[in-house]
Structure 1
Amino acid sequence: MSVFVTGATGYIAQHIVQELLKQNYKVIGSARSQVKCDNLIKNFGYNKNFSMVVVPDISELSAFDEVFQKYGDELKIVLHTASPFHFDVKDVKKELLIPACNGTLGILESIKKYAPDKIERVVVTSSFGAIIDFTKLDDKSFTFDETLWNPDTWESCQSNPVSGYCASKKFAEQAAWDFWKQNKDVVKFKLSTVNPVHVFGPQVFDSDIKETMNCSCEVINSILKGGPDIPVNPNSRNQFIDVRDIARAHLLAFQRENTIGKRLVLSCGDFNQQDIINVLNTDFPSLRGKVPAGNPENGILGTHTGAIVDCSKTKEILGFEFIDFKKTVDDTVEQVLRAHGEF
């Protein structure tokens, strides 16, 4: 069975590709340039079941037409992970909203035109950002779950890049659900989405360890390289999930019938900057004195300090336990130190 993974060079997508290849799927990935394609093929050891295609600009609604014209007869599964994720943004609409929405609508339209009776399952990588309401985060009586949507409008979300990114995931996901509902008599595929909170965990390849990491992992990396005197913010609360669990959820999302029509919300609970520091100082003696100590009692791991993210239905559907915070941080830090020759 052949699977198409958009944005295959991305942090989450590489873990998805790795899991697919382990399970002997034939994988076709996309990236924006031939250089990116060639590098990923090399990193995966020129696996005979893995190939790449160039899709230079997903904001073009016809961006994926050629893929389905060429491979539509052999593809059965589409995992759409490609979406802009960065906060160095001058124009939220142009750089975040339009690419996210057009990329999602475009790939579904391409399926409709060239493989309506071939593609069986589509999984869209969404985000907790599609659910979040920033005004409720500190409300201990409030619960987020898969039924809720980010209340930001197209206009209001353009006030800053973080709001813009979260809303871009909302609008793209809503577009996918609307398309599926409106075209059920035309297309064969069934739809699911995966909505993770803040993503932690190692890269697939040590060679991807850079001085500055992707937005998610830079939270840990910045502490490692910041020195012992960087300020520790006890109010830096967030939710986390391990990238390897997200990859696993993507595969189960198309492998199982009970995921059809579902939003799979992934979270393993609250953490703050102090929790990361506590793991570093406890599990990596060589880092003591090189990273801040802060106040260990200020950690919030395992406590309820704000709104709850309820992913009980997702856990029931998927049927596996998520990787805990300690292992996530340990594995990430070990990889960074190993890549720098310190582990």
Structure 2
Amino acid sequence: MKTRYEDEQVKVMSGEKDWYKQAGRNPLLEPGFTPQLMARIEEAAAEGSPGKSGHRRRFGRAAVLGGLAAVLLISVLIWPFGPGADSGPAAKLASLFKPSSGAAVVQPSPSASAAPSASPGAYQPPLGSAEFELGGMKYYMPLPMNRDRASARAVETNAGIVWSPPPPMVNYSKPGYTHPTEPYALYLSPKGQPELSEATAKRIYTLPLYAGGSQSYYELSGIYAGGDYVIMSSATFTLGKKNSRTQDKFFVVNVTAAAAGETAVSRELYDYAGEGYDLSVHRSYIAFDHVNEGMLVVYYTKNGRNAYEMHGVLYDLATGEKQNVESKIGIDIKGQKQTAVYEIQGKKREADMALLLGQQWYYDWYYNEFGEHIEPVPTGM
């Protein structure tokens, strides 16, 4: 003979009883669980169940926690074989070839935030803070325990440190349904202030949350420094649809103007899909010139002799105008830093290589790591 509690369980599992409907919201139709919604669900679950017995309490929590899973960010993999390449060694290496994206170094388990301090020597970062080293100084971003610290980002611009914390995410325990419940945002903090916190920073730009509908979302895949500007790379994805993530687009925001009180407006600079350059070929890459405020796109094409020809296109961050780079483009390597060296009107310029997108970068790494060629392409420049 079934107890009343067991009967309630059957009704829930069979769909005859909907705790979400009783609580007033359905997380499958509306964005995310909130503490308020969870409280209402448990309160609804308590109605009609046995008093304060252990059965009722365990069932109430099961009803709430059963719809929750670990908070995850969707992997951003535009390298080296295009978006969606989320398997094999390429996925493992994606983060290695984005040294200038401002991605964080993760400290151990999180705790409550400490009070901000303008003195770097006196500041003690909370455990679990995302750590960055910019301009020879370390900065720390305290984050709640349910945030993906590897997706925290920060870069140094002329106006200060621009940073973006990972937003809260929700996961309905179904593949392809993880999404942010708040939009990505950019904050500006003074140089020399070690803590990157909203309490001591200025929010300068907020991306939209939805991308044309309640089932499509924006994702911030990286931020890059460009003098007075910060460059954002972003994409969109749709819940429940495989391979729905779009190719990245790059947008520019004038940080110096925003720091002076002007309204920050983003301007599209570059679209992977729209420009027509195949950046998966050979040693293609994107670099950023902080001094002259430009984005350098280097790509390759094959000629009739089965060799590769290099092409360079320079995008002006202030105007969006582009020009072909006619000079030879070399690479200067110092430790872990790789710099593109080129000329414009006879004047030497440098740009920090931020995104190594061509397949040959991976092939070279694989050979250096394992001593095995996986593609019959010469490794010399």
Larger C-alpha radius of gyration, 1 or 2? 2
The structure richer in strand per residue is: 2
The structure richer in helix per residue is: 1
TM-score of the two chains, using structure 2 as the length reference: 0.26
TM-score of the two chains, using structure 1 as the length reference: 0.28
